[in-house]
Structure 1
Amino acid sequence: MYSWTSRVRPVVRHITGCLRCYSSATSGRQHGPLRILFCGADEFSIYSLRALDAFQKRQPGKIDSISVVCRPDKRVGRGLKKVQEVPIKSVATELGLRLHQIDTFTLWSPPDPIDLILTASFGLKVPSRILNMAQYGGLNVHPSILPDLRGPSPIQYALLKRKSHTGVTIQTMHPTKFDHGKLVLQTPRPGVPITERATPHELLHSLGPIGAELLCDTIDKGLFIEPIRDLNMDEPVEGLSHAPKITPEDRHIDWTKWSADEIQLRDRVLGRLWDMTTYKNCGIMGDSLNFKRTTFHGPWSLSGRSENVPTLPGTPRLTSAEGGVAANQLALNTIDGKTIIPSNATIEGGRKGAGLPTLIAHLQKQGVE
């Protein structure tokens, strides 16, 4: 059953009310029952898929059928013993929708005629060959107010860039580029407020219902039918940011530049921050190069103790817990002169989450405080 939380529903109602000014000029465009090919993957796309299924049941004259495309199951974990499914697969099965699992569009074509292709957090570029098979081309549900945060990681970068607001855009699918189609419908600026210390999970579940609502509104009003009114205004928009793919280097702590606040932010948004210096700086010997990756587990906490801290950022030392006596916590100094403490750590090649005792023991041997 498709439902929204009471926290999100009022925001959606307000936004869709504001959208009438965008869509009034093209409202009421008629089209026959659509045969839809929906391409998705994660929870964000699941919101749209469930909304489409509910919309079809309410208005079968608008949607004839929905088929789903997602990536294949993959083996993960140690020994590749665990099979990981794309989250949308089980939802498509639950709804009784026809499912296609592909890792590339090369040599693949929809087995049945289609009228409209929809994508949301899919990850693969739908080629022009497939788009040309659909009478109305394709639409993408993008979790940002385009052209801001164009790219594959808009939710993460909305947080990393400390944006105060974000939103969702329905855009046509460009035949050769990601996020370069016409803007059909979107949340009006300034958009949806981003709460303090929001996580990607929380922001996804705020934007998912809004994207679902906009997508159904687009289909209901036939806004995808040419001529399409492009909302992308000619005048430049100030303060635009790009949202490239998140890579392991985005988690690599730069002790010479990152403040304590930046470390806590990146831990909250990306998790699994790491460096190549802590292991060596703790004086652990016995390795030929004495370099191993240390992956830190959050949340990180700030030390509120008044202590003489080393001037070199990233230098590990020991500190005592609040109210404690023994120096039994690993602490690192940041570029802004603060002391930050990870919850745990994993040393490369070691057992997950078992790294802190090893690091602390070697610091104690050196008499480091």
Structure 2
Amino acid sequence: MSKLKTGLLHAIAWIAILLLFAGIGSRSGNFRESVIIYIYFGVINICLFYINYLYILPKFLNTRRYLGCTFSIVFLILISGIIKYGVASLFADVVLRSKTEPRGYLSFWEYYTGAFFTGTFFIVLSTVTKFTLDWFVNEKIRKNLENEKLTAELAFLRSQINPHFLFNSLNNIYSLAYQHSERTPEAILKLSEIMRYMLQESNEPRVELWKEIRYLENYIELQKLRFRSDDNVRMSVKGNDTEQTIVPLILIPFVENAFKHGVTSDPSSPIIIDIDIQNGRIVFTVKNNKSGMNKDLTSGIGLNNVKRRLDLLYPGKYNLDIEERGELYCCKLVLEL
């Protein structure tokens, strides 16, 4: 909101408040008396409010000069009482007249005591308003910074995932081409479908679950081209995947990790991938036998990234269990969709 709009809103609010109190006060007395009491002294109190709000608090609190701030506020309240008495003296018959005092008028100290407490009230009101509005502004800034940080972090994590996957896939296709395999065109087609998904869908915050599963199937089919038997990898999908959505590229690191570190040449110990969708959640399980031959210096990047993404995008809505039982390695992800 611009400063001009903010100033107009403040002015309209104060005018409405003063006219309201002047109107209420005039019902039991003279309207002129109400105008003098509520308008003249209301303006003085409003000045107290903004002197503290716009000058004293920003100047002293922002530099942590608390003693100077306290002295300035007390001095402002004391001076305001004297100013109010001076104005009251101009309208003594209205403001200073007392029905209980024999002399008929309030003394300086009698009036000053009331003015002191009134001034203190407006100073406290401006201080509370300042701290409250600053808290909301700082909270908004903090959330914006968190969102910017989250967006940047997710973009960085995703940028790590995509080149890593592309590097592995191109290595596979290179191997097939080097062997002059007839499966090379099929591999290129599968990779094009995978890259199309990564480029078009992965930039969305969420995608249909069936698309993510189709992406996994294409990836697995691309990997199967290296094997003589389809039994090296077994994948099953249970449940309805057409009514749910998921964050893209959240499952692939588990499958990729199984291919990198699992036994992929023996059909008797296949990589097993199970997807069970029910009651608004997905149970995703990947099992593989560990291979001592498959070492990769970047082995931890994929899973570390996906754990971080899960923390950011599904806080409190997932459970990841990774077990190593002898030669068996098992990852189980339970995710609330």
Q: TM-score range by the shorter chain?
A: under 0.3
Structure 1 or 2: more helix by fraction: 2
What TM-score comes out, normalization by structure 2 length? 0.20
More relative contact order in 1 or in 2 (CA 8 Å, sep 6+)?
A: 1
Higher strand share: 1
TM-score (structure 1 length as normaliser): 0.19
